[in-house]
Structures are given as C-alpha cells and as structure tokens.
Structure 1
Amino acid sequence: MRRAGSRTRFLAFIGPGFLVAVGYMDPGNWATSIAGGSEFGYTLLAAVALSSLMAILLQSLCARLAVATGRDLAQACRDAYPRPVSLVLWVLAELAIIATDLAEVIGTAIALNLLFGLPLVWGVVITALDVFLILYLQSRGFRRVEAFVATMILVIALCFVGQLLLAQPSIAAIVGGLFPSPQIVTDERMLYLALGILGATVMPHNLYLHTGIVQTRAYERDARGKAEAVRFSTLDSTMALCFAFLVNASILILAASAFHDRGAGTVEDLTDAHALLEPLLGAAIAPVLFAVALLCSGLSSTVTATMAGQIVMQGFLRMTLKPWIRRLVTRAIAIVPAATIIILNGEAGAGELLVLSQVVLSLQLPFAVIPLVMFSADGTKMGALKAPSWVLWLAATTAAVIVALNTKLVLDHLLGG
C-alpha cells in the first residue's frame, strides 16, 4: 500500500520537468545543432551530452532551492543582494528571455513558411497572436498547460524518430561523438557553436522558471514532506531532461547524417535544411516531419518563456502584469529585430540571428547560475536540505566551466581569433 501511495504522490509532481525540458529543444537549439552537425559531423555530440548533464545538475538545485526556501530564484536574488545588483540581474534575465523569444519568433515563422508558404515577415508578425493560445491554456488550469507542452514534445520526438529512420546514421560515429575532443575548445568556430549548444540547452530563464513552478505542487511543509518533494521534483526534471537530451542529440545526428556524411556542406539555415532533406533522404515525408516538429517546438517554447517572464518580473520587482500584456510587450521587442533582419538580409539573416540568440543566452548564463550555486551552498538558507558537498562541488565546477568558456569566446572575438 505504501508503495502505491508513493507512486501516486510522485505522479502529482510530474509536469514541471517537462515545462522546463521544452526550453531545451526550442528553435534556437535546432539552428545551433544543425549548423554543428552539418559542419563538424558528430563531434559536437559531446557538447550536447555535457550540456544536458549540466542542465540536470542545475535544475536539481532549482528544485532543492524552491522547496527549501519557498522562494524562486528571482525572489532569492532580490532578498540577498542590494537593489542595484538585483536590478542588473533583472535586466540580464529579461535579456535572456528576449533572446529566447527571438528564437521562438524566427523558428515559428520559418515553420509557417515551410508548411504553408507564408512569407517570413508575415510569419513573424503572426507569432504575436500566440498570446491567445497562452490565455486559453492558462484559463483552463496549470495541468492543461503541462498537457499541451507534453503533447508538443511527443510530436517533436515522433517526427525525429521518423527522420532518423530515413537517415540511417552510423552508430559507431554516434558513440565516437559522445567522447569530448580537444578541438571543441581550440577551434574558435567549433567553440562558438558549442557555446550556442550550451546556451540553447542550459537556458537562464529555465532556472527561474523551475524554481517558480515547483511551488505549484502541494506537499507537506514538514521536514519529511520537503525531503520527498525535493526527491520527486528532481526525479521529474531528470526524466524530462534525459528525454530532451535524446531529442537534442537527434537533431545533431540528423544533420550529421543527412548533410555532413552526404557532402552537403555546412547548413546554417533551417529553410535550407528543410529543402535538402527530401533529395538527400529520398522521402517526401522527411521535410514535412521537420516542419511540423519545428512548429511544435516554437509553440510549446513560447508558453514556458511567458511563464518565466512573469516569475522574473514578479520576483525581482514585485510587479505583476496581466499575462497578455507581458506577452505582447516581450514579443514586440523580439519581433522588431527579427523583422528588420529578415527584411534586410532575408532568410540567411534569420538563421544567423537564431544562432546568435543562443550565444547571447550562453553569455547571460553565469548571472543566473552563480547565484543559484551560492544560494544552494548556504546552510542558513537551505537548512537540512542543503545539497551534499559533492553535488555543490560539481555545480561550482559547472559554473566555472561556463564562465571560462564564455570568457575565451569573448577574448577570441576581441582579439580577432
């Protein structure tokens, strides 16, 4: 009986992990993974795997912090730091959300173009209408939001399974790609794409999002209830992120197999990737599956980015906007540069902007990760739920690696590579 009760309680905690996981497979992730796979084959699979492990570790700290303190990451920063520091962190968090939204705008517009022939500029404008989708889902309850996102993730996964069956990638090459190569750090172009993968996988807004939505779960507030909540929330996010890793790896493997192995050269544009799939894989269904998965990716990611924006604004500023106002403001900020770049540079500019948005996310990441690690190591805040020393050491090492890689990228750029 007790085992059945435990399973039932765990089922109540399933959901937040998948809301977080969808951010790890957004359109920006597609751009970096396709560029990396088409140019360098399976080599950057190691970057996908390492980024996923970092994500699992950091999201477990998010769940622990939320349960132990009853605060989300934005609230914890506001409590701990002077107001000027807190405001800077708020601005950086908002920039990360805008960069995320930019990727969703472009990805959704490209998907609409591929499926229905809609011009990219009009697709970008139409993405503003997703506010009605969000309002509808939120009016139906939080579980409906989770169900929608989970359905989108399942569709994305099924589409990639179909494409991989057509591409028939080399199993030996996949296994070899999971082992890190020194070239990832020494080659500036490869490092740029690896950081894009890192920024698309370990996303700053997801850290704020997870610490907020974990608290939507009901659990006993005594020591035993909190410990169980941490365990179940961590298991939920770990399962969801393992699934997200399979999807992310599939994107890169598809690009490596379909483009790199077949000599198609570097493919940085999602539209080009779509156009090349049918002649290279020999099946008309391949590009359709690609476009459907891309559309589902953009729609599901837009929901979680909006929720993260609400948590960030309320946590840092104690300010609550109506969801539709918050959504329209954020999307308007993202639409302007997206439409401008598309008008000036066409589809190629949109692809480059997608990759750039993910590198921007990577550069913002330390400003969310470092406070998270510091709070998690604070015994006064965490009490009995403070993470084991080995977990904290791994988290600190993760933060140091992220800072070091970002510093190298910036210095390489400033010094001309």
Structure 2
Amino acid sequence: MTSDGTDVTADRNFEGWRRERGEASMSDVHASVAVTRSRSAFRRALAFFGPGYLVAVGYMDPGNWATSLAGGSRFGYALLSVVLISNIMAVLLQALCARLAIATGRDLAQACRDAYPRFLAWPLWLLAELAICATDLAEVIGTAIGLNLLFGIPLELGVIITATDVLLVLYLQNKGFRKIEAFIIALLGVIAWCFLIQILMARPDWGAVIRGFAPTTEIVNNPDMLYIALGIIGATVMPHNLYLHSGVVQTRAYGHTTSEKREAIRFASLDSTIALTLALLVNASILILAGASFNATGHTSVEDLDKAHMLLNPLLGSALAPTLFAIALLCCGLNSTITATMAGQIVMEGFIDIRLKPWLRRALTRFVAIIPAAIVTLLYGSEGTTQLLIFSQVILSLQLPFAVVPLVMFTADRKKMGALVAPRWISVIAALIAMLMIVLNLKLIIDVFSGSA
C-alpha cells in the first residue's frame, strides 16, 4: 500500500512492468476530487470536467501564436488544414493518455520509468526536460511580451514577473485543485471572446477559410511551408501535454474496479475532446486573423507578436483590436506557465522519482525556465524573439516521437493495460500518427542540413 492509499499489488496482475508504480503522480492532489456515485451519468461526467482544459492551454500557448501568425501572414489560410489535422492527432493522443493513467495508475513518465531499463528511461527523461524547457521559453517570453504590450513593462522585467505564477499555483492549490481548473477555464473564456471580436472586425473571406481546411501537397513540397507546418504541429501536439494529462486526470477519485475505470476513461476522453475543440477554434482564429489582416493586405512577413499588435489598429481601423490581442496573449502566457510548471513536476517525479515539497518543486521548475528566457531576452530583446518562439516549437515537434511512441506501445500492450487495453483500431491509427511525425521530422532535418529550409 502506498502513502496515497493505492494498492500497488494490483500491478502484479500486469506482467509487462519491470517495477511497481510506487507513490502516485502529484500525490498532494491525487484522487482529491470526488466522483459522485449519482445515478445520473451527466452528474458523474461533470466530476471529470476540468483536466482537459488544463491540457487545452498547451494547445494555444504563445509559441503557437508565433507559428500561426507566421503561417497566416505568409501563406494565408493554406495551413488551416495542418491546424485541423494536428488537433485530430491531439484528441486521439490525449485520450490514450487518460486511458494509460486510469488503467495503470501511472502517468506517462512513471510508465517509461517502470517499463524500460535505466539506459533507455534516462535519455527519455532528458528529452522530456528539453521539451519542457522549450515550452517554458516560449511561454515566459510570450507573457513578458504581453505585459510589455499592455502596460509598457520592459521585457527583462516582464520575464522576472512571470516567476510570481508559482505563488498563484500554490495559493489556488491550497484552495483545492478545482480552483486551479476554474481559474484556467475563466482565462480560456477571455481568450476565446477576444479572438471572436477580432475575427468579426477582420471580416475574412469565409469561402477561402473553408478551402484552407482541405490538405494540399504544397505543404510537403514547399520547405518553408513545411517548416512552419511542423512548428504548428509542435505547438499543437506538445510533448509536455502528454505527461501533464496522464498526471492531472488522476486527481479524480474514480474508483478501482474495471467498470469504474472504464467509465472514467470515457468521461475523461469526452472532457479532453470538448476542451481541444475549443483549442482548435482559438488556434484557427489566430491563423485566420493573420491571414485576413496581414496576408490579404500584402503584409506577408508579419511574425513578431509586437509587430502584429502594432499593425492591427491601422489595418482593422479600431484601437480595441490590438488591446484585445494583448489581453489574449497575456492570458495565454499566464495559463501556459502554470500548466507547464505542473508538467515539469510530473516529469521530475515520474522519471527520476525526486520527491520535494510542493512549493520547492514548483519554484525549481519555474526558476530553471526563467534563466534561459532572461538570457535570450537580454541578448535579443523584442527583435528575434519570434524566431526563437518558432524554433522552440520545431524542437517540440522533433521531440514528439519520443513521447508518442512509448504512449502508443504501452496502451496497446494487454500485459500492461489488462482489460482496459486500447482497441486495436485506435492503436493502429495512433501508430500511423507516430510514423507520420517521424517521416515529417526526418524531412525537416534533411531540408535544414541541405539548406532548403
């Protein structure tokens, strides 16, 4: 029996694990949200409403803004198909994360640690930490730019201010994990309204928008377009989200029987699917706004967040548009830094089993991210930060297979998953997604080294 009350002897029924799970992920909030045993399926489903929105935050972070702005201003609506395909990939992969966590009691980091020998698990841990550093770099810079655009705060000072999100997480978590979820959902609502108003102001060509959701071979044949497309994939299907979801879904006290877990998988998957649909709308809105405001008016090189902010007023004829843009950016950055801090905790605990006090874990994760962000900001200022944001998202895309492949393998293994193993058709589609990512990444590497990208 672990300190959180979970019976680890159940692991012995699954022969695929090299070791028992040990203490649960995020043990201070593990199974802290009660699941009602009401006869109403709707009321039971409401208990699972929340974790999907924490995950959705990572699908609309400041790094995503940079790639979507670049894609929209350069290529109009052509990359909307990539946004849609990325979101479909995300829905399936996040559902597998929930399945893995609920079936085995392990987050993805713990599963890698318990399934692989150290010479494989430790490199996977280092790659996961690299992905979180790339994520934090984008989010800290994005938040600092948002503070600069709204309040005129210098970027260097803005980076330091982002450290206060640790205090916010600690305060909200002391009030209960539901408070964190409520705060993040409220900010997501603000973001959605900001973009809805801006889209109405921009008046895009809706026929061209609809055609943009149809895939085209030009994306693969054009190295510049492929580079941005991979950035969009990296910014949408983010590695740290896979670790995050498999951890936060375990905050629900869903029970221990197979039927209870099966229902929990269904409700958790529904929660993440609805939340990611909202993320799709926001991501598409960013690209549509860039296409309608910049590409359609001949401004095909708008990639910097501050430049986009500056041009919205004269192009849309309203001083409200740039203000809404800055508010949405700040909300995205604040939301993303909170969830990335949680993901860092899950990765640290899961892979190397380091157990620190909650405040120290979160402070360490946040301050480690601030150091490189501060250096980059001091060296480059506002100029060049967008290129770094895009590059960080490509790094995430390159790291994706190292998180996705283990996830697909674990959830398809009956010895590890028992009766809750993923259906064969889902495993096949997930494997095809992993293969597609690997092929696209190899092509990107070839293009970069050949000078084509």
- In the alignment, is residue 403 of structure 1 matched against residue 435 of structure 2? no
Q: 1:280 — aligned with what?
A: 315
Q: Structure 1 counterpart of 2:218, which letter?
A: Q
Q: 2:248 — aligned with what?
A: 213
Q: Distance in 2 between matches of 1:129 and 1:391?
A: 41
CA contact (8 A) 1:17 1:238 kept: yes
* 1:130-149 paired onto structure 2 within 5 Å: 130-149=165-184
Q: Which segments of 5 or more consecutive residues in structure 1 lack a partner in the other structure?
A: none
CA contact (8 A) 1:31 1:268 kept: yes
- In the alignment, is residue 124 of structure 1 matched against residue 159 of structure 2? yes
How far is the alpha carbon of 1:131 from its aligned partner? 1.6
CA contact (8 A) 1:24 1:200 kept: yes
Q: 2:147 — aligned with what?
A: 112
Q: Distance in 2 between matches of 1:63 and 1:343?
A: 40
Q: Match for 1:265 among 300, 303, 324?
A: 300
Q: 1:299 — aligned with what?
A: 334
- In the alignment, is residue 344 of structure 1 matched against residue 379 of structure 2? yes
CA contact (8 A) 1:208 1:308 kept: yes
* 1:63-212 paired onto structure 2 within 5 Å: 63-212=98-247
CA contact (8 A) 2:345 2:365 kept: no
% identical aligned pairs: 63
How far is the alpha carbon of 1:160 from its aligned partner? 0.2
Q: Distance in 1 between matches of 2:177 and 2:38?
A: 27
How far is the alpha carbon of 1:62 from its aligned partner? 0.6
Q: TM-score, normalised by structure 2?
A: 0.90
Q: Distance in 2 between matches of 1:336 and 1:213?
A: 27
Q: Distance in 1 between matches of 2:233 and 2:174?
A: 34
CA contact (8 A) 2:166 2:366 kept: no
Q: Distance in 2 between matches of 1:283 and 1:4?
A: 52
Q: Deviations over 1:260-288 (max 9, x none)?
A: 01111211100000000000000110000
How many residues are treated as equivalent by the alignment? 416
Q: Distance in 2 between matches of 1:375 and 1:362?
A: 21
CA contact (8 A) 1:38 1:260 kept: yes
How far is the alpha carbon of 1:87 from its aligned partner? 0.8
Q: Structure 2 counterpart of 1:163, which letter?
A: Q
Q: 1:9 — aligned with what?
A: 44
Q: Match for 1:333 among 368, 376, 384?
A: 368
How far is the alpha carbon of 1:159 from its aligned partner? 0.2
CA contact (8 A) 1:342 1:349 kept: no
CA contact (8 A) 2:166 2:362 kept: yes
SS at match of 1:321: coil
How far is the alpha carbon of 1:323 from its aligned partner? 3.7
SS at match of 1:75: helix
How far is the alpha carbon of 1:4 from its aligned partner? 6.0
How far is the alpha carbon of 1:329 from its aligned partner? 3.1
How far is the alpha carbon of 1:183 from its aligned partner? 1.2
CA contact (8 A) 2:70 2:303 kept: yes
SS at match of 1:283: coil
Alignment RMSD, CA only? 1.3
Q: Distance in 1 between matches of 2:357 and 2:341?
A: 11
SS at match of 1:13: coil
How far is the alpha carbon of 1:3 from its aligned partner? 9.2
Q: 1:252 — aligned with what?
A: 287
Q: 1:235 — aligned with what?
A: 270
How far is the alpha carbon of 1:124 from its aligned partner? 1.3
Structure in which a larger fraction of residues adopt helix: 1
Q: 2:71 — aligned with what?
A: 36
Q: Match for 1:381 among 416, 424, 445?
A: 416
